[in-house]
Amino acid sequence: MLTERQEMVLQRLVEEYLDAGVPVGSKALAEGFTWGSSTIRSELANLEEHGLLAHPHTSAGRVPTEAGYRYFVDRLLPARTQSGGSSLPLSLVRNEVDEAMRLTTETLSQVTDLLALVTAPPLDTATVRHVEVLSLQPQVLMVVVITSTGGVSKRMFTFDAPLDPGLIDWAASYLNEALVGIGLGSRTLGARLLDPSLGRSEQAFLAALAPVFTDLAGAAQDELYVDGAGHLLSADRIGDVGELNSLMEMLERRVSMLGVLRNALSERDVLVRIGTENEVPALASMSLVAAGYGLPQRPLGSVSVIGPLRMDYGGAIQAVRDAAAQLSSFVAEVYDER
C-alpha cells in the first residue's frame, strides 16, 4: 500500500506518460503540486523501490512499470472514473459476431463474383456471458446482458420506491453466478430467475428484472447478411429480369429466403440446387450453393451463394465449404465449445 501522496504522484506520472509518451521528471510533476522538487524526487525514489517506476536512463525521468500500470488501473483509475466518468460503450461489443458474418459475406461475394448470403446464429442459441445491474438513480436502474456471441441487451427499470443498494449488489452477484453459461432459450434460465429457495424480496426483485432476459430470447431471430447483388444485374448472366426482381423482393422480405437456406442445415456437406430444383419461383433460373456451419451437435446458420446456371460450380462449392468451416471454428470459440 502506498501513502496518499505517493498515489497522487504515481497517478500524475502515469497520466503524463500516457499523454506525452516520454519519461517524466520531478520538475514536470512539481508544476501540479505544492510540494517541492526534492519531496517529489524522494517519492519517485520510493515508488521505484516498490517496483512501480523505472529509470530508462540515468539522467532521464521515470516511466511506469507493468506493476505501476497495474496499481494505476486497480486503485487509481477506478477512483477517478467512478465520479462522473462516461459509461462503457457496450454497443461496440455487438460487433464481435456481426463483423465476422459481414466479412464472410463480403469476401465470399468477392471471391466467387456471385451473390453471397450468410445467416447469423439465432440469438436464443447464445449463452449469458455477463450481467451488469447498474443504479442510475435511487429508483432507477439499468440491467445489461452480454451474450456469448457478443450480443448486448440493455433495459431500464423504474421502481415506485428507492432501491436498497445491498439488494442491487446481491442481484448482480446472483445473476452472474446463476446465469452465466446458461442458454437464453433454455428452461434453466427461467427456473433460476424463479428460484423458490430465495427470500420473498429477492424473488420479487428478480421477477421485476426477468423481462430483460425473456424479451431477449423472445425477440431472437435469424439475421441475414447479403452482399454482391450487383453481380446478378449483368444482362448476360440473368436473362429473366422478372425473376431477378422477384429475387430482390425475396431478399427484402427475408423470411422466404431464410426458409430456403435452412435446408442447408440438414446437409452433411454442401447443398447444390440448380434451376428448377429450387422450390421457389424466384430461383427457377438460378443456382444455389449452400452449406451449414455451427457446433458439432448444433447447426447455427448457413453460408451460400446464388448465381446463374452458368457458374463455376467447383469454385463456388469450395468457397462455400471453406467459409462454412471457418465460421464453424469461429463460433466454436465464441460459444466456448471446441
Tell me: do 42 and 99 sit in the same domain: no
Q: Do residues 295 and 251 both lie within one domain?
A: yes
Q: Number of structural domains, the chain?
A: 3
Of 144, 129, 85, 121, nearest to 295 (Cα)?
A: 121
Per-residue pLDDT tens for 152-175? 778 899 999 999 999 999 999 999
Weakest mean pLDDT among 23-32, 70-79, 262-271 = 70-79
Tens digits of residue pLDDT in 229-239 = 777 765 455 55
pLDDT of residue 93: 34
Same domain, 239 and 321: yes
Average pLDDT of the residues in 281-289: 84
Domain that holds residue 288: 93-122+222-334
Distance of CA 59 to the CA centre of its chain: 46
Which CATH number goes with the domain that contains 285?
3.30.450.40
Domain match, 114 and 227 both: yes
Q: Are residues 31 and 76 in the same domain?
A: yes
Same structural domain, 166 and 33? no
The pLDDT of residue 294 is 87
CA-to-CA separations, 245 to 89, 230, 282, 307, 319, in angstroms, rounded: 40, 12, 8, 14, 26
- Is there a domain that residue 201 lies in? yes
Instruction: Give the three-state DSSP class for 201.
Output: helix
pLDDT number for residue 43: 93
Tell me: do 186 and 243 sit in the same domain: no
C-beta contacts of 19-27 below 8 A and 24+ residues apart:
22/61, 23/56, 23/57, 23/60, 23/61, 23/62, 23/63, 24/61, 24/62, 24/63, 25/60, 25/61, 25/62, 26/61
Question: Looking at residue 303, what is its pLDDT?
Answer: 92
Flag whether 87 is in a domain.
no
Residue 144 is placed in which grid cell? 445489461
Residue 144, phi then psi, degrees to nearest 5: -115, 125
Q: What is the pLDDT of residue 238?
A: 54
| Residue 258 reports pLDDT greater than 80 | no
pLDDT of residue 175: 93
Q: C-alpha cell of 138?
A: 435511487
CA 273/CA 262 separation, integer angstroms:
13
**What is the pLDDT at residue 58?**
66
Average pLDDT, the chain: 80
Task: Please indicate, yes or no, whether residues 280 and 314 belong to a single structural domain of this protein.
Answer: yes
Query: What pLDDT sits at residue 90?
Result: 26
* Coil/strand/helix, residue 148: coil
Full-model pTM: 0.51
Cα–Cα dist 146/126, whole Å: 10
At which of 218, 252, 271 does a domain end?
218
Contact call for residues 73 and 80 (beta carbons, < 8 A) = no
**Candidate from 59-68, 197-206, 327-336 with smallest mean pLDDT:** 327-336
181 within a domain of the structure (yes/no):
yes
- Tell me the pLDDT band of 145, cut-offs 50, 70 and 90: confident
Domain check: are 325 and 266 in the same one? yes
In a domain, 135, yes or no: yes
Domain final residue, candidates 189, 218, 247: 218
